[in-house]
Structure formats: C-alpha cells, structure tokens
Amino acid sequence: MKKLLLPLALMVTVASAGEQFAMSDADRAMYKEMLENNPADIYVEEGGEILDEQLGGEEALAKFLGVTEKELPKYIAGFPRYIKKLGNVVGIDQVLQAMEVEQGKKKTKLKSGKMFSMLAYVKSLANDEKFTIDIKADEHIKASYELGKKTFMTARGGRGLSCNSCHSSDIVGQVLRTQPLPDLGKVGAGATWPAYRMTKSSLRTLQRRFQGCMKNALLKVIPIGSKEMVGLEVYISTLAQKEKKEIAIPGLKR
C-alpha cells in the first residue's frame, strides 16, 4: 500500500480500496435504491417552482443573462463564468441573487436550502451538456481559474493540508474515513453537484461540499461565494470538462 502523506491524527481508517469496503451492504443497497429514486428530485422540482413564482422562470433568467431560452442550457454549462454586468466571475447562485436585487426582492442567502434548490434546478437545465468553460476567454476567468488551482494546491492550517493532499494522483484510490479518495475529474465531481448526500439527508452544493472537506480537515472554512470558492468551482469543473463528463443534476453522494 502506498504511504499516505496525511497526518496520522487525521486518519480514522486508511487502507487500500481492496482491503476495506467503503460502504456497508445496507448502505450499498440504499444507494442502489436511491439511484432509481433520488430524494433530491423533489428539491430540484421545488427550485423550479421558486424560480417561476418569485423570479419569472427561465424566461427571466435568460433575459438577465442576455441569451435566448434555447441557448440557456449551453450557456449554463459555461458556469462559473464572467458576467459583465456583475463585474465578476460568478456562480449560478450569485446570478440568482443579482436577479433578486434587480427585481427589488430580498436576497436569498447562498448557504440556504432555498438557494440550493434553485441552483440545482437551474443547473439541471444543462443536464446531458458538457461543460463549456473557456479559461482563456478573458482575463477574469483566467484569474479565477488560477486562484482556484492555487487554493486547491496550497497547504494551510496546523496540519499543512490542501485539497490536493487527498486528491493527488498518488493518493487516489486509497480509503480515508471509509471512503475511497477519488480523482475529481474522472468522477465528474463538478458535473454532479448539487447532489443528495445520504450521510446528511439533504441537498448540498459543490461549494458546500468544499466547506465540509475543510471542516473535516480542521481548516479555516472559506465562505460560499467568495473569489476563492468560485475559483475552486471553476477549477474542479474544468477537471470534469477535460474528462468530457456530462452534467447530471441532481447527483447522489454517500
């Protein structure tokens, strides 16, 4: 077994994937059942209703973004992206907040169930599309990608851990805390969030998952919607893009 470059205090159980099951038989059976009837589907449907009732639906979203409704799925597949009227590279959830402000409504918090549902619905409009993020499109998206990569690679905290500590090529396949450490590009992480987390019994977004990882590693948690978090989403999404993974929302995660 390869030596893991992780502090012993962090590891509850570490073994090669062949030495330990990542799921119990009961969990595996539940996962199989949920694949056919994902509990997150109801949240996605709810998000669509909220978008229609409170923001004007897909027509209003397309108008805000300056595209036609027909172009919307492919355009959504390019997020996070630079939006000129907002002056930043932003995620879909930040676009929804901007729509609320434009319509004179109270902003929905990024870290709220309501926003998670709306985000899941909007991203699901791009299901079966492949990411179309162009990190060379302008200086803004290029800078966001570079910041995301730096955030992913930079060790921090008392244990000197980074995202890459658990997802570098020499670590992938090992098992940490009963879960195999994945290649984030090959599993299409960026393309399968928002997702239903079985262990949390709720819908979670990619940036919320980043926060969970940070908390587990005892790192200072970066706020959702910050430049670092958006950059991380850009970086992780481009890993899925390189593997030509199709967007599939909602995902299902342990």
What does the alpha-carbon distance between residue 24 and residue 89 come to, in Å, rounded to a whole number?
41
Residue 218 has pLDDT above 50, yes or no: yes
- Select the more confidently predicted residue: 154 or 172: 154
What does the alpha-carbon distance between residue 208 and residue 215 come to, in Å, rounded to a whole number?
11
Residue 180 has pLDDT above 60, yes or no: yes
Structure tokens at 27: 């969990």
Q: For 160, left (φ over 0), alpha (ψ -120 to 50), or beta?
A: left
SS3 state at 194: coil
What does the alpha-carbon distance between residue 14 and residue 180 come to, in Å, rounded to a whole number?
9
Residue 14 has pLDDT above 70, yes or no: no
Backbone angles phi, psi at 65, to 5 degrees: -85, -10
Of the candidates 143, 168, 139, the residue with the CA atom closest to the CA atom of residue 235: 143
What confidence tens digit (pLDDT) does each residue in 109-159 have?
A: 999 999 999 999 999 999 999 999 999 999 999 999 999 999 999 999 988
Non-local (6+) Cβ contacts of 252 within 8 A are: 31, 34, 35, 38, 40, 195, 196, 198
- If you average pLDDT over residues 13-20, what whole number do you get? 36
Residue 22 has pLDDT above 60, yes or no: no
Place of tokens 């619905």: 121
Q: How confident is the model at residue 170 (pLDDT cuts 50, 70, 90)?
A: confident
Tally Cβ neighbours within 10 Å of residue 152.
19
Backbone angles phi, psi at 7, to 5 degrees: -60, 140
Non-local (6+) Cβ contacts of 194 within 8 A are: 40, 43, 116, 119, 120, 123, 203, 204, 205, 206, 249, 250, 251
Q: How confident is the model at residue 67 (pLDDT cuts 50, 70, 90)?
A: very high
Q: What is the pTM of this model?
A: 0.85
pLDDT for the residue 25: 63
- If you average pLDDT over residues 188-203, what whole number do you get? 94
Question: Domains along the chain?
Answer: 22-254 (1.10.760.10)
User: Starting from the edge strand earliest in sequence, which strands make up the sheet with 202-204, in order?
Assistant: 202-204, 195-197, 251-253
Please give the share of the chain, as a percent, with pLDDT higher than 90. Answer: 74
What confidence tens digit (pLDDT) does each residue in 225-234 have?
A: 999 999 999 9
